[in-house]
């Protein structure tokens, strides 16, 4: 893929950051405002995320009035509560009133009831109802992602009627790309892009302009499913329906893109055994708390592997070369297992791996595992023979390598498939299981064979 | 994050796959067409990707006429050449004529010149020029991603003029969401959403309706940069400009979303030491070829670690417990290093980690490494004491743990930062470097301290 030097350019934020730091140090709100004035809300939110909690406190004192709905909706969950607490109530109320209903939902869904109610109280009745309706859907569902502001038209309207309607409305959403056609019971039956609306004759019936790509999303669908559908079918927006197939809102692609990004983050962090919500701006304490459970799990699996070695203490005492070579077998197994595991987890996430081809993929991984086992078994046997001049030892390490790379392949594919079948996230904890298998079997195969053959 | 049971639902593709298999077995093109008729092009492309090469050949013989531009543009790069070769020339020419210029570029950019020219010959002159213009930009650049079909309007036009223009044009792109305002030298100066156009008075000047979010993208920008900008600023489409800031095309968010998805795939596969373009439908041979280089690298690093152990053969012969315990120190280091590394790689990709906060993040990781070192050093010392009743050995493993988790933290953050500074992808090969460090230092610290203290 691309040679990737995307981050070698100077980061324009670095300059601003320096000026922001100066303004904070000088406690000069005017300088701070001047430094931030040309910046996009998303970039200001990033600056705030990168600060330490102390810096953030100072910053918010100086810039409280500058925080608007846009910045607030861009701020990462991990520090949102901290920021909300420090904002004057009036600023918060004003900011919330500017936001689309989906952003308000995103903002308040993790808050405790009293804080949530305080924020909702700032909304006018209609917006508040929209937010509450959304909050009634499960966490991480399409219902939480959608905005309730939708432009609809009866399916029997013409282009002229739709255009006149849009002209006369004054509550239109900030961004919209389609008109959703609904039947009299408010079931969405199609949509028309604004481009096509503009380009068509005024007397054309909307029904005839509806797009093929039309599909609705259940408000109960998981957000991962939403991201998948948008990415797979190149949707720009999609109507959301309740259990009775009635229109309750719309999701736009920018929200789906954020979800896709979050899902990837989750996968990559889970595969590495780092807490899901780990963040570059977390404090030492937060970071330690996230990582300790995974290291603790690893120490248990490492002890399991160590107790396998302990069984063969006698063998090692007789032939110390075993101690020298045994980590190689385990390490190669761990690497091969991680390769298979990652391909499997990724395949499950993108749905390239499904029941239809699971068996074929398992078969492929087994053959690949055996092939790599034979390749690296021969290589290690040759190296061992050259190093220790012991053909028996060479044969043992070669065989152990074949066994362990086969085990790595099986564990790497079957563990994520199994977790997935059980309804668990295959990215979560698979890595630990797989390396435990390859460590234990690696030591067992090598030391066991050595005991049988050499001693 | 969400409990993730997105893949426990039955996959609707599995049914279709069964019917497709039947139709192929019966060599019945009508049945095949019937089975595929209700399917989206993207899903048909997925089916084709999941097949073995032999199945694919049979499938393409039966369904050649069904392959259209939409399916073709959805088919994964890894098998695209194989599919193109098997398609009758007439079908291919017809399919290419239906495609947007950006999809044609995507299709032909990896082909050899003769094949490429053959496909381009099927296009009419205007489309061919657009494709060739795009191909003149570097691989993985915005120029390759853009489509040249853009709806523009002079900046001094009114809403009425723009609407009349759109009504009278008959070459409008399939999907468009904005009208790009250009000055007389074709520099983009703003854009107006179709929603706002529709909702505004007919005599309103377009200039007054332009969106704040407007920003242009250089045709030479890398596609990773494009994905970042769309995701960061919630863009739906963005005009692309050449070196003279002249409008040359437009990129829409669905393409940016695909790039984001690809970039993530690349990161996750590189971190695991799997070839970038590894795919669930790859053959055994392709898979082995992708993975062998990484396993070969790993065997070299594992041998480095083994040669450290070899230095201490004498120590191990005297105290076999050292062989039992040494993998634990190395394994904990490897895990802690991977944690830090993943957070760093992810932070660089999302730009949460930059020069402005690199020092702070390094400091945090060092403190976290020391803290975890002390925590797990004490735990391992206690376990060792309980297991071997040897306070000296307990002290040695505790100290080695502190040292190795500190090294893991340093390697995990400094290696990706260094690679990034050198303009290399921090995800590529960092894992190997980091585990080599933690293995070598893990064995060295533990066995070295043991030699000094215990023997």
A300 half-sphere exposure, CB direction, 13 A CA radius: 7
Q: Check if the beta carbon of residue B422 is closer than 8 Å to that of residue B381.
A: no
Among candidate residues A22, A162, A220, A54, the one with its CA nearest the CA of residue B195: A162
The two structure tokens encoding residue A139: 């966490």
Cα separation of A145 and A238, whole Å?
11
Does B54 reach chain A within 8 Å, measured CB to CB?
no
Q: What is the DSSP string of A29-73?
A: HHHHHHHHTTS-HHHHHHHHHHS-HHHHHHHHHHHGGG--HHHHH
Residue A198's CB is within 10 A of a number of other CB atoms, namely 22
Across the interface, whether the CB atoms of A356 and B267 are under 8 A apart is answered no
From chain A, the residues in CB contact with B268 under 8 A are 264, 267-268, 271, 342, 346
The alpha carbon torsion through B56, B62, B65, B70 (nearest 10 deg) reads -30
Nearest CA in chain A to B380: A299
* Closest approach of A113 to chain B, Cα-based (Å): 20
From chain B, the residues in CB contact with A1 under 8 A are 140, 262, 266, 276-277
Do the strands B217-218 and B152-154 form a parallel or antiparallel pair, or are they unpaired? unpaired
From chain B, the residues in CB contact with A260 under 8 A are 257, 260-261
Does A13 reach chain B within 8 Å, measured CB to CB?
yes
Point out the residue among A4, A175, A231 whose CB comes nearest to the CB of B261: A231
SS3 B193: strand
Q: What part of B 297-336 touches A (C-beta under 8 Å)?
A: 298-299, 301-303, 305-306, 309-310, 313, 316-317, 320-328, 330-332, 335-336
Phi/psi of residue A227, nearest 5 degrees: -60, -40
Q: How many CB pairs under 8 A join A and B?
A: 405
Cα separation of A288 and A274, whole Å?
10
From chain A, the residues in CB contact with B296 under 8 A are 376
Across the interface, whether the CB atoms of B257 and A258 are under 8 A apart is answered no
Q: Is A367 left (phi over 0), alpha (psi -120 to 50) or beta?
A: alpha
Do the strands A217-218 and A237-241 form a parallel or antiparallel pair, or are they unpaired? parallel
Alpha helices in B312-354 (DSSP H): 313-318, 321-350
Cα separation of A179 and A206, whole Å?
9
* Closest approach of B171 to chain A, Cα-based (Å): 10
Q: At what angle do helices A355-388 and B12-25 cross, to 10 degrees?
A: 90
Across the interface, whether the CB atoms of B420 and A8 are under 8 A apart is answered yes
Which residues lie across from A218 on neighbouring strands? A241
Q: Check if the beta carbon of residue A145 is closer than 8 Å to that of residue A251.
A: yes
Cα separation of B303 and B296, whole Å?
11
Q: Check if the beta carbon of residue B418 is closer than 8 Å to that of residue B433.
A: no
Does B1 reach chain A within 8 Å, measured CB to CB?
yes
Point out the residue among A320, A328, A368 whose CB comes nearest to the CB of B317: A320
Q: Check if the beta carbon of residue A114 is closer than 8 Å to that of residue A67.
A: no
Q: Check if the beta carbon of residue B396 is closer than 8 Å to that of residue A316.
A: no
Give exposure, B331-345, as e/b (b: 16+ Cβ within 10 Å).
bbbbbbbbbbbbbbb
Average pLDDT on B352-361 reads 87
The structure's pTM equals 0.88
Nearest CA in chain B to A199: B167
- Contacting residues for B83 by C-beta, under 8 A, at least 6 apart: B48, B56, B60, B67, B72, B75
The two structure tokens encoding residue A72: 């607030």
From chain B, the residues in CB contact with A193 under 8 A are 175
Contacts for A111-116 with beta carbons within 8 Å, 24 or more apart?
A111/A81, A111/A84, A115/A84
Q: What is the pLDDT of residues B236-283, one digit of tens each?
A: 999 999 999 999 999 999 899 999 998 888 889 988 888 777 777 788
Cα separation of A184 and A285, whole Å?
56
Cα separation of A123 and A96, whole Å?
7
Cα separation of B406 and B408, whole Å?
5
* Closest approach of A76 to chain B, Cα-based (Å): 11
Place of tokens 């790509």: A213
- Contacting residues for B44 by C-beta, under 8 A, at least 6 apart: B36, B71, B74
The two structure tokens encoding residue B282: 């790859």
* pLDDT for residue B7: 39
Q: What is the pLDDT of residues B372-390, one digit of tens each?
A: 999 999 999 999 999 999 9
Q: What is the pLDDT of residues B33-60, one digit of tens each?
A: 999 988 899 999 988 988 888 889 999 9
Point out the residue among A11, A294, A326 whose CB comes nearest to the CB of B354: A11
Q: Check if the beta carbon of residue B220 is closer than 8 Å to that of residue B285.
A: no
Does A346 reach chain B within 8 Å, measured CB to CB?
yes
Q: What is the pLDDT of residues B392-410, one digit of tens each?
A: 999 999 999 999 999 999 9
Interface with chain B: mutation pick from A217, A312, A343, highest number of B CBs within 10 Å: A343
* pLDDT for residue A9: 44
Does B85 reach chain A within 8 Å, measured CB to CB?
no
Q: Check if the beta carbon of residue A305 is closer than 8 Å to that of residue A439.
A: yes
* pLDDT for residue A12: 58
Nearest CA in chain A to B162: A198
Across the interface, whether the CB atoms of B298 and A222 are under 8 A apart is answered no
Phi/psi of residue A249, nearest 5 degrees: 175, -170
From chain A, the residues in CB contact with B383 under 8 A are 303
Q: Which helix (H) or strand (E) holds A414?
A: helix A391-421
Q: At what angle do helices B41-50 and B77-86 cross, to 10 degrees?
A: 90
Across the interface, whether the CB atoms of A232 and B43 are under 8 A apart is answered yes
From chain A, the residues in CB contact with B153 under 8 A are none
The two structure tokens encoding residue B316: 């191990």
* pLDDT for residue B6: 40
SS3 B190: strand
Q: What is the pLDDT of residues A109-131, one digit of tens each?
A: 888 888 889 889 989 898 899 99
Give exposure, B217-226, as e/b (b: 16+ Cβ within 10 Å).
bbbebbbbbb
Q: What part of A 23-52 touches B (C-beta under 8 Å)?
A: 40, 42-43, 46, 49-50, 52
From chain A, the residues in CB contact with B13 under 8 A are 351, 354, 356
* pLDDT for residue A14: 66
Phi/psi of residue B51, nearest 5 degrees: -75, 160
The alpha carbon torsion through B270, B276, B281, B283 (nearest 10 deg) reads -100
Nearest CA in chain A to B141: A2
* pLDDT for residue A76: 86
SS3 A341: helix
Q: What part of B 129-188 touches A (C-beta under 8 Å)?
A: 139-140, 151, 163, 166-167, 169, 172-173, 175-177
Point out the residue among A4, A257, A353 whose CB comes nearest to the CB of B280: A353
Cα separation of A220 and A242, whole Å?
8
Residue B14, pLDDT > 80, answer: no
Cα separation of A435 and A298, whole Å?
9
Q: Is B425 left (phi over 0), alpha (psi -120 to 50) or beta?
A: beta
Order of all β-strands in the sheet with A237-241? A217-218, A237-241, A247-252
Across the interface, whether the CB atoms of A172 and B166 are under 8 A apart is answered no
* Closest approach of A452 to chain B, Cα-based (Å): 19
Specify burial of residue B99 (Cβ count, 10 A radius: 0-12, 13-18, 19+): buried
Q: What is the DSSP string of B110-131?
A: TS-HHHHHHHHHTS-HHHHHHH
Interface with chain A: mutation pick from B261, B287, B312, highest number of A CBs within 10 Å: B287
Does B15 reach chain A within 8 Å, measured CB to CB?
no
Across the interface, whether the CB atoms of A288 and B313 are under 8 A apart is answered no
Across the interface, whether the CB atoms of B357 and A140 are under 8 A apart is answered no
CA distances from B380 to A169, B184, B320, B354 (A): 69, 73, 17, 36
- Give chain A's residues under pLDDT 50: 1-10
Q: Which helix (H) or strand (E) holds A399?
A: helix A391-421
Place of tokens 């008959």: B170
Q: Check if the beta carbon of residue B369 is closer than 8 Å to that of residue B399.
A: no
Interface with chain B: mutation pick from A5, A18, A234, highest number of B CBs within 10 Å: A234
Cα separation of A71 and A74, whole Å?
5
From chain A, the residues in CB contact with B298 under 8 A are 331-332, 335
Interface with chain B: mutation pick from A356, A418, A427, A432, highest number of B CBs within 10 Å: A356
| pLDDT level of residue B13 (50, 70, 90 thresholds) | low
* Closest approach of A34 to chain B, Cα-based (Å): 18
CA angle A161, A167, A173 (to 5 degrees): 110
Residue B4, pLDDT > 50, answer: no
Q: What is the pLDDT of residues A376-433, one digit of tens each?
A: 999 999 999 999 999 999 999 999 999 999 999 999 999 999 999 998 888 887 888 8
Average pLDDT on B293-301 reads 94
| Number of DSSP helices (H) and strands (E) in chain A, helices first | 21, 6
| pLDDT level of residue B11 (50, 70, 90 thresholds) | low
Q: Check if the beta carbon of residue B216 is closer than 8 Å to that of residue B186.
A: no
First CA to last CA across chain B, in angstroms? 50
Among candidate residues A269, A229, A266, the one with its CA nearest the CA of residue A251: A229
Nearest CA in chain B to A294: B335
Across the interface, whether the CB atoms of B280 and A375 are under 8 A apart is answered no
Average pLDDT on B87-113 reads 89
SS3 A439: helix
Do the strands A217-218 and B217-218 form a parallel or antiparallel pair, or are they unpaired? unpaired
Cα separation of A377 and A397, whole Å?
7
């Amino acid at each position: 893929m691309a040679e990737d030097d995307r981050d070698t350019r100077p980061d324009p934020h670095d300059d601003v950051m320096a000026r922001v730091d100066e303004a904070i140090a000088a406690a000069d709100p005017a300088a701070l405002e001047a430094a931030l004035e040309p910046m996009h809300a998303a970039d200001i939110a990033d600056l705030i995320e990168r600060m330490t909690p102390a810096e953030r406190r100072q910053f918010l004192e100086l810039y409280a009035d500058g925080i608007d709905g846009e910045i607030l909706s861009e701020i990462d969950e991990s520090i949102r509560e901290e920021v909300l607490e420090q904002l004057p109530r009036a600023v918060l109320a004003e900011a919330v009133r500017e936001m689309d209903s989906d952003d308000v939902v995103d903002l308040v869904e993790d808050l405790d009831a009293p804080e949530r109610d305080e924020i909702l109280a700032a909304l006018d009745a209609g917006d508040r109802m929209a937010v509450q309706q959304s909050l009634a859907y499960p966490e991480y569902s399409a219902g939480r992602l959608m905005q309730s502001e939708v432009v609809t038209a009866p399916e029997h309207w013409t282009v002229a009627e739709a255009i006149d309607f849009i002209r006369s409305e004054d509550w239109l959403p900030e961004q919209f790309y389609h008109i959703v056609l609904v039947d009299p019971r408010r079931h969405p039956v199609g949509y028309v892009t604004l481009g096509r609306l503009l380009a068509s004759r005024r007397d054309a019936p909307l029904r005839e302009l509806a797009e093929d790509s039309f599909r609705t999303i259940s408000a109960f669908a998981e957000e991962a499913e939403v991201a998948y559908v948008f990415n797979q079918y190149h949707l720009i927006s999609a109507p959301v329906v309740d259990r009775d197939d009635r229109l309750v809102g719309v999701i736009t692609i920018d929200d789906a893109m954020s979800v896709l990004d979050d899902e990837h983050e989750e996968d990559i962090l889970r595969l590495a055994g780092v807490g899901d919500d780990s963040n570059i701006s977390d404090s030492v304490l937060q970071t330690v708390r996230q990582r300790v459970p995974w290291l603790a799990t690893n120490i248990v699996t490492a002890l399991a592997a160590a107790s396998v070695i302990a069984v063969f203490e006698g063998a090692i005492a007789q032939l110390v070369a075993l101690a020298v070579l045994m980590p190689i077998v385990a390490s190669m197994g761990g690497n091969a297992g991680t390769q298979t595991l990652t391909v499997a987890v990724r395949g499950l996430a993108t749905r390239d791996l499904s029941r239809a081809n699971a068996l074929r993929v398992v078969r492929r991984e087994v053959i690949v595992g055996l092939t790599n086992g034979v390749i690296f078994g021969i290589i290690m046997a040759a190296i061992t023979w050259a190093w220790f001049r012991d053909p028996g030892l060479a044969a043992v390490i070669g065989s152990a390598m074949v066994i362990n790379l086969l085990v790595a392949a099986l564990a790497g594919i079957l563990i994520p498939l199994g977790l997935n079948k059980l309804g668990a996230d295959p990215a979560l904890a698979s890595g630990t299981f797989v390396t435990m298998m390859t460590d234990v079997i690696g030591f067992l195969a090598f030391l066991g064979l050595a005991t049988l053959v050499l001693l």
